[in-house]
Copies of this chain bind each other. A is one copy, B any other.
C-alpha cells in the first residue's frame, strides 16, 4: 500500500548537501559525539578501515561491528549519504585516495612522560590534521553565502566566550582592518543588548565548538529573530546553535584527551574558517579592502623599530 513517493533524498533535511568525497574521516570525527553507541561503532570501523569496509555488504558490516543492518544504514544517513550503498561507494573512493596518497602517521595520544620533542611533533601533526579535515569538510556554498552577507553588511557582531572568544576577536580584528564594522562580544549581557539593535542586512556570527554554549546561542537567537543574517561556526552541525543560524560552518573535531583539551584543536579549525571568511570578504570588497589594509599597516609602522638599545 505504500504509494511510492520519491523520498529517497532529503530524509535528514539537507537537500543541497553533496556527499563527502575525502572529507569522510573528518565527518566521522565531527559527528561522532552526536551518535549513539552502536552508530559510533560503525562509524569507527568505517573511518578505521575504509578499504576493508568498502568490501563488505551492509550485513557484513553489521556483523563486524556487532550491530544490525538498520544501524549501519542509519549511520550512513547521518554521514550524509542517501544510504549504505552510497557510503560504500565513497568508501571505495577514499580507500583509493589513501592508497595513492601517503601513509598515515603517528596517531598516539600525548602521554605524561612524552619527551618535549614528541609533544611538539604530536601537537603539530594533530593541528595539521585538524586543518586538513576542516578544509575538506567545509561547505563552500555556506561559506560563500556567509562571505556575501558579510561583504554587504551594515554591521557585524561576533559572539564567542572562552577560547572561542579569542577566535571571535581575531575575526573582528581582521574585518576592522578592511573597513567593516565589526564587534566581538564575550560578555553575554552586552552581546544580547547589542543583538537587539541588529536588523535585516546585518550579520551575526556565533563561534562555539560545542554548539551548546547558551551565552553564545542567546544573542544569536535574538539576532536571528531581528532579521539579521546569522552564521554559526561550530564543530557540531546538529547542535542547538544551528537552529538560529542561516549558515552553518562546520569545523572538524580532532581527538581530545586529558592533556589535549578541546580548546586546542577546535581553535585551530575555527581560525581557519575565520581566515577563509576574511579572505573571502577581502576579495569581494577588494577595491575598498586593499587600501584599508595598507593604511592600517602603515599606521602601525611607527610602533615598530621604536626600540632603544639597552639602558
Interface flag for A37 (CB, 8 Å): no
Interface flag for A267 (CB, 8 Å): yes
A22 / chain B contacts, CB cutoff of 8 Å = 96, 100
Interface flag for A17 (CB, 8 Å): no
Interface flag for A153 (CB, 8 Å): no
Q: Please tell me how many copies of the chain the complex holds.
A: 2
- Contact between A13 and B311, CB atoms less than 8 A apart: yes
Interface flag for A258 (CB, 8 Å): yes
Bound CA span A280–B112, Å = 9
**Majority secondary structure of chain A interface residues (helix, strand, loop or mixed):** helix
Bound CA span A144–B114, Å = 12
Residue with the highest number of chain B CB atoms closer than 10 Å, among A260, A272, A309: A309
- Give A contacts to B, CB under 8 Å: 2, 4, 7, 9, 12-13, 21-22, 34, 51, 54-55, 88-90, 92-97, 99-103, 110, 112-114, 116-117, 119-121, 123-124, 127-128, 131-132, 134-135, 138, 140, 143-144, 147, 162-163, 166, 169-170, 173-174, 177, 210-215, 217-218, 225, 236, 238-241, 243, 258-261, 263-264, 267-268, 271-272, 275-276, 278-280, 282-283, 286, 290, 293, 297, 300, 303-307, 309-311
